[in-house]
Chains A and B, each alone.
Chain A
Amino acid sequence: MIAFDRVEKTFKDGTAAVNGINFHVNEGEFFVLIGPSGSGKTTALKMINRLIDPTAGHIYVEGTSVFEHNLKDLRYKIGYVLQQIALFPHMTIKENIGLIPEMKKWPQEKIDERIDELMTMVGLEPKTYKNRRPAELSGGQQQRVGVIRALAGDPDILLMDEPFSALDPITREQLQNDLVNLQKNIKKTIVFVTHDINEAMLLGSRICVMNKGEIAQIDTPDNLIRHPQTEFVRSFIGDRRNAWEDPLIKVLRTIEGESDNPSDPQPDRAALNSELTLSEAVKRLDQSFEPSLPVYYQDGYLGELSYKRALTYLRSAQTADKRVGGTIL
């Protein structure tokens, strides 16, 4: 779907943002570009829809070099979501969403239908919100509109440049979850830039870690954690190995505290022994095809282990690591 072939970008001031990178993104894939600031991830993203042109190398979209596409057509088939959201403040929500379909000269009825459909899809009641202006919406609502504006022209590809980083943590988590669900339904090819490794882990089917204009490693989230190929990748994603080897009892106590003793809501399932390591437990969860499994310490029910809980634990372990690293202990 998208391919980078020895792509370089040196800006006029001499900054080499991207130094000969190669990768390809498959159709329907959720591809995450991640790295510290200045790693070239945003530059790489913007070269796909030619907001930035490379100084060397080739970029292919659907097998054709981006330079051989008609620029308008190329951009029509690539939706773009900005960190700054950038809804046009002088237009209503409806007008914002309808911009690309209008430029593509869709019939008005089809545009109206499309607007309603998309707004409903992200949980914005069309009647209520259609004629409002962006300033009347919350940040989270605005970025939902930002996403569906990018989707309005039914593009094959969606580029997202740190779309959730300006939002508060709760809203961010909501939108992340929504995006996961959305992707299940719409099956677009998504290229997503972030500097938040947890976000990358949650969303990405493959993650491309960049550093100083080069690619450090491209891999699935799991492999990235288990087999970081360089010291940079290891330190960037955090030393998660320890947390993966923690016993479940520690995992659940950390998440739930020791406050209450709940009872198992569905007693007759396969249970996880609390002595198991997290990595072993996640493997069993994988095999069980269940959203979550109960954890038992001897005969006592401790709670549920889900992917999300595993992730929450890994995340908290990472912050804890950092805290320890920062103080004298």
Chain B
Amino acid sequence: MTANILLDFTAFSIERREQLYITLWEHVQMSLTALLIAVFIAVPAGILLNHYQKGAEPVIGTTAVLQTIPSLALLGFLIPFIGIGTAPAIVALTAYALMPVLRNTYTGIREVDPALMEASRSMGMDSRQQLLKVQLPLAMPMMMAGIRTSMVLIVGTATLAALIGAGGLGDLIMLGINRADNFYILLGAIPAALLALFFDAVLRFAEKRSLGTSLKPMVAVVVIALLVVVSPRLYQALPFADEEADIVLAGKIGAEPEIILNMYQELIESDTDYSVDIEPGFGTTDFTFEAALAGEVDGYLEFTGTAIADFLNEDPVSNDEQEAYEQAREGMKEEYGLEFLEPMDYQNTYALAITEEIAEEEDLNAISDLRGIASELTAGFTFEFIDRNDGYPAIQDVYGIEFGDVEGMDPGLRSEALVSEDVQVIDAYSTDAYMIRYDLLALEDDENVFPPFNGAPLLRQEVLQDYPQIEDSLNRLGGMITEEEMMEMNYRVDEEDEDAAEVAEEFLIAEGLIDG
């Protein structure tokens, strides 16, 4: 059993090694950059504070406060100021790393035996010589302990940077959580842990070699780290590096946004001369939305129901798709200056799902069919679904259905609970790939309880003014893609591991939207 899982995981890892290398490299880049900046700020600051000891407590206290801010909050807080992507991630990581390095540098130097300082003074050393020959070498173990603490902190926290589009191993973890696929989570988490251990070993080795009067191994480590950090940036600065595209479109984490995003790119680039950059797996809803608002990206795929409930804080005026779309379009335009283009056919809304087996046995097609047998069934719902007004409460009110038992559970566990027959009904997203994987059936919402969630491009007005042909091009997707088609495509990407770009292209060609 265990051996099988290991084998499976190994095969899984080898298959995705490209992805692993890229995210690992991003992770190394991001971590080292933050660590270097932190060291270059905190070490000199720690040295200076020894000359101005009155300032020490307030300054170290401030860095300690930075440390107490939850990392997600800090990342979110930075978006309005420095946007999304690598820059805010590095700023946040640096902020986290400051305190251990600063405090240990300060303390390490302060705790050098005063007799040694007197001895060095009596020998005619000036303060620079004292620093280099006596204070730094003696404070080194303490400083290194601080740097190593910061480093572990950074490598760990950097996994969260995926949430604001900074990439790194967090991308794999997010993907894993999104797909309820533990192998992806492990593929991100294990290298992150190994990376922390590896850095720690390198630093410890350098520290051992440095013991004594020579700081050379220390300097060598810093130089190597600098090279790793600087070389790709230098490369980018070269004239032959990629030019920036006209339009940058983002997609939230998941297969579906990635497929649609690829369709957007294909359509625009085949219809117009504009160049399009896409950033799939950009981040959660909030981060992606903030990025569009801040102009970091020009647009992304959003759902009408999300816009109404989360961004406009309104109740849907109606459960009619068209009316909901109008409400979302007008609201987003007025409130945020963002333009919803035409929505696609499919809805990615809540659904109640059961296995095909039960559906056949009991002849169930719509939610109302559950009325007779609901009291004998156990439902496995996400906490959000149980809580939301348009979730289980709406089912109770409108359909008058009470399940015999309701278990609150994590999204990733629902489908498996269903298959293992612990529960008979779950809430699901109507286009999710596991609907196919587990032979699930989405019951028809015959009373229209769930608000419409139609996907449509949400774009900045400025980009529509600058590149007016986008609108017509993207509207060609309006009213296209049924729920079955979307579910099928999701399944191919999520479960069969096909490339999202290829799946998207195939669909466009099959529908005659682009030439083959």
A residues within 8 Å of B by Cβ?
Answer: 49, 51, 71-76, 78, 80, 82, 84-86, 88-92, 95, 99-100, 103, 159
Inter-chain contact A91/B118, CB cutoff 8 Å:
no
Question: Is A75 within 8 A of B122, CB to CB?
Answer: yes
A100 contact set on B, CB distance < 8 A: 123-124
Distance in Å: Cβ of A327 to nearest Cβ of chain B: 39
Enumerate 19 A-B pairs (CB-CB under 8 Å) in ascending A order: A49-B122, A51-B118, A51-B122, A71-B124, A74-B124, A75-B121, A78-B122, A82-B115, A82-B118, A88-B119, A88-B133, A88-B138, A92-B212, A95-B212, A99-B123, A99-B133, A100-B123, A100-B124, A103-B125
B210: nearest residue on chain A (CB-CB)? A90
Per DSSP, are chain A's interface residues mostly helix, strand or loop, or mixed? mixed
Task: Give, as a whole number of angstroms, the nearest-CB distance from B133 to chain A.
Answer: 8
Q: Find out whether the CB atom of A90 lies under 8 angstroms from the CB atom of B138.
A: yes
Q: Let me know if B119 and A80 touch, CB within 8 A.
A: yes
Cβ 8 A contact of A88, one of B122, B129, B134: B134
B451 interfacial by beta-carbon distance below 8 Å: no
Known: A71-B124, A76-B124, A100-B124. A90 touches B212 (CB 8 A): yes
Chain A contacts for B212, CB-based, 8 A:
90-92, 95
Enumerate B110-137 residues with CB–CB distance to A below 8 Å: 113, 115-116, 118-126, 129, 133-134, 137
Given contacts A90-B212, A91-B212, A103-B129, whether A80 and B123 have CB atoms under 8 Å apart is yes
- Nearest first, the 7 closest Cβ-Cβ pairs linking A and B are A75-B124, A80-B122, A84-B115, A86-B119, A86-B115, A72-B124, A90-B137
User: How far, in Å, is B409 (CB) from chain A's closest CB?
Assistant: 58
CA distance A142 to B307 in the complex (A): 76
Instruction: For A91, list chain B residues within 8 Å (CB).
Output: 212-213
B211 at the interface (CB under 8 A from A): yes
13 further A-B pairs in the complex, CB-CB below 8 A; given A71-B124, A95-B212: A51-B118, A51-B122, A75-B121, A80-B123, A82-B115, A82-B118, A82-B122, A85-B115, A86-B115, A88-B120, A88-B138, A90-B137, A103-B125
B residues within 8 Å of A by Cβ?
Answer: 113, 115-116, 118-126, 129, 133-134, 137-138, 211-213
Taking A72-B126, A95-B213, A103-B129 as contacts, is the C-beta distance between A88 and B121 under 8 angstroms?
no
- Tell me the nearest residue of chain B to A95, going by C-beta: B213
Who on chain B is nearest to A103 by CB?
B124
Nearest neighbor of B117 in chain A, beta-carbon distance: A86
From A91, which residue of chain B is reached at the shortest CB distance?
A: B213
Q: How far is the CA of A88 from the CA of B125 in the complex (A)?
A: 13
A86 → B minimal CB distance (Å): 4
With a cutoff of 8 Å between Cβ atoms, the chain B residues found around residue A82 in the complex are 115, 118-119, 122
CA distance A323 to B113 in the complex (A): 38
A76 to B138, CA, bound (A): 24
Smallest Cβ-Cβ distance to B134: which chain A residue: A88
Determine the chain B residues whose CB is within 8 A of the CB of A84 once the complex forms: 113, 115
Between A73, A78, A88, the greatest number of chain B beta carbons within 10 A of the residue's beta carbon is seen for: A88
Q: Which of A72, A78, A90, A100 has the most CB of B within 10 A?
A: A90
Residues of B within 8 A of A80 (CB): 119, 122-123
Whose C-beta in chain B lies nearest to the C-beta of A79? Answer: B122
Query: Which chain A residues lie closer than 8 Å to B116 at the CB level?
Result: 86, 88
Most A CB contacts (10 A, CB to CB) among B120, B123, B125, B212 go to B123
Would A90 and B211 be within 8 Å (CB), given that A82-B115, A84-B113 are in contact?
A: yes
Q: Return B126 CB to nearest CB of chain A, in Å.
A: 7
Q: Would you give the shortest CB distance from B35 to chain A, in whole angstroms?
A: 25
CB-CB < 8 A to B138: which residues of A? 88-90
Q: How far is the CA of A33 from the CA of B120 in the complex (A)?
A: 23
Q: Which of chain A's residues have a CB closer than 8 A to the CB of B120?
A: 88
Docked-complex contact B123 and A75, CB < 8 angstroms: yes
Q: Which of B116, B122, B211 has the most CB of A within 10 A?
A: B122
Q: How far is the CA of A89 from the CA of B135 in the complex (A)?
A: 11
Whole-angstrom CA separation of A78 from B119 in the bound complex:
12
What is the CA–CA distance of A100 and B125 in the complex, to the nearest angstrom?
Answer: 9
Q: Which of the listed residues A78, A91, A99 has the most CB atoms from chain B within 10 Å of its own CB?
A: A99
Chain B residue with Cβ nearest A76: B124
A148 to B209, CA, bound (A): 28
A78 to B134, CA, bound (A): 20
Residues of A within 8 A of B137 (CB): 90
Contact A86:B113 (CB < 8 A) given known A76-B124, A80-B123: yes
Residue of B nearest to A73 (CB): B124
Residues A90 and B122 in contact, CB atoms below 8 Å apart: no
- Closest A residue to B140 by CB, please name it: A90
Alpha-carbon separation in the docked complex, A159 to B118 (Å): 13
* CA of A74 to CA of B124, assembled, Å: 8
Task: Give, as a whole number of angstroms, the nearest-CB distance from B319 to chain A.
Answer: 75
A51 vs B134: C-alpha distance when bound (angstroms): 17
Contacts of B124 in A (CB 8 A): 71-76, 100, 103
Residues of A within 8 A of B211 (CB): 90
Chain A residue with the shortest CB-CB distance to B120? A88
CA distance A158 to B161 in the complex (A): 61
Interchain nearest-CB distance for A101 vs B (Å)? 11
CA distance A188 to B212 in the complex (A): 32
Chain A positions within 8 Å of B119 at CB level? 80, 82, 86, 88
A179→B181 CA distance, assembly (Å): 78
Nearest chain B CB to A198 CB, angstrom units = 25
A217 shortest CB reach to chain B, Å: 28
Give the chain B neighbours of A86 by CB distance below 8 A: 113, 115-116, 118-119
Interface centre among A84, A85, A86, A159, by most B CB within 10 Å?
A86
Q: Chain A residue with minimal CB distance to B116?
A: A86
CA distance A78 to B121 in the complex (A): 12
> In angstroms, how far is the closest chain A Cβ from the Cβ of B430?
67
In this complex, the member of B116, B119, B137, B213 whose beta carbon has the largest number of chain A beta carbons within 10 angstroms is: B119
Q: Which of B116, B118, B124, B213 has the most CB of A within 10 A?
A: B124
- Identify the closest chain B residue to A85 (Cβ): B115
Residues of chain B with a CB closer than 8 A to A51's CB: 118, 121-122
**Whole-angstrom distance between the alpha carbons of A90 and B136 in the complex?**
11
Shortest Cβ distance from B390 into chain A, in angstroms?
68
User: Closest CB of chain B to A229's CB: distance in Å?
Assistant: 33
**Complex interface: chain B residues within 8 A of A92 (CB):** 212
| B252–chain A nearest beta-carbon distance, Å | 54
- B450: min CB distance to chain A, Å: 70
Q: Please, how many angstroms separate the alpha-carbon atoms of A159 and B119 in the complex? A: 12
Docked Cα-Cα span, A84 to B113, in Å, equals 10
**Closest residue to B211 on the A side, CB-wise?**
A90
**C-alpha gap A159/B123 in the complex (Å):** 12
CA gap between A311 and B390 in the complex, in Å:
103
Residue of B nearest to A74 (CB): B124
- How far is A91 from B134 in the complex, measured between Cα atoms in Å? 9
A24 to B276, CA, bound (A): 88
Complex Cα distance, B214 from A95, in Å, reads 11
> Which residues of chain A have C-beta atoms less than 8 A from B126's C-beta?
72
* Shortest CB distance A109–B (Å): 19
CA distance A287 to B430 in the complex (A): 118
Chain B residues, Cβ within 8 Å of A75: 121-124
A88 to B112 Cα, complex, angstroms? 10
A74 to B121 CA separation, bound complex (whole angstroms) = 12
Could you tell me the distance in whole angstroms from the C-beta of A188 to the nearest C-beta in chain B?
15
Contacts of A78 in B (CB 8 A): 122
